[in-house]
Amino acid sequence: MSPLPTFNASSIRRPHLMVHYDSPRSNRSLPGRARRLVLGSALSLGALVGVAGGIAAHHSYSASYDLSRTVAVEGVITELSYANPHVEFVVEVLDDPATAVVEPTESWLISTSGPFRAEGVGLTEEVLAVGGEAAVVGWPAWDGSSELGASTITVGDQTFQMR
């Protein structure tokens, strides 16, 4: 029987394992990897900060409003902000409508849920048109300002349950 042939393992070409440091592709691969690593890290950090910021910015209704009592306000809508994070509008309470005096006596900032939820219950920008009348029942702000967290909003013959 003849002996097995001997061979030198270094003489076998394995193209898929060979690294050519002087090839143009290898010169691009390291910066490309670094670029992907930096971009991936930045995106991950941005997402983490965005989520943490959103959580910190979101607050409980009970932190802003006194849920143990309600206030009813009726008047004319004079301003409207139909945007995130909350739909807000200003209602100017008028003197007794039975009198000829229609001067505003006080203004209330009404805060509701966001536009997505408001539209979901039918409270659209068109319903809250500036110049229209609204009746609002809500919770007063803890700080004593003229702000209400809306519970129900009535415009015309439509009543919207917000909370």
Cβ neighbours of residue 140 closer than 8 Å, sequence gap 6 or more: 65, 66, 69, 71, 147, 148
Give the whole-angstrom CA distance, residue 85 versus residue 75.
24
5, amino acid identity: P
CATH of 61-161, one of 3.40.50.1110, 1.10.10.10, 2.40.50.360, 2.40.50.140: 2.40.50.140
- Pull the structure tokens for residue 29: 């691969």
Q: What is the DSSP string of 35-103?
A: HHHHHHHHHHHHHHHHHHHHHHH---HHHHB-TT--EEEEEEEEEEEE-SS-EEEEEEEESPTTSS---
Please, are residues 65 and 140 in contact by the beta-carbon 8 Å criterion? yes
What is the domain partition of the chain in residue ranges? Answer: 11-57, 61-161
- pLDDT tens, position by position, for the chain (163 residues)? 666 656 555 555 555 555 555 545 544 555 666 666 665 666 565 554 454 444 444 557 788 899 999 999 999 999 999 999 999 999 999 766 555 455 567 899 999 999 999 999 999 999 999 999 999 999 999 999 999 999 999 999 999 999 7
Question: Strand, helix or coil at 31?
Answer: helix
DSSP-derived 3-state class of residue 24:
helix
User: Pairing mode, if any, of strands 71-82 and 133-140?
Assistant: antiparallel
Most distant pair of Cα atoms in the chain: their distance: 125
C-alpha R_g of the chain: 33
pTM of the model as a whole? 0.61
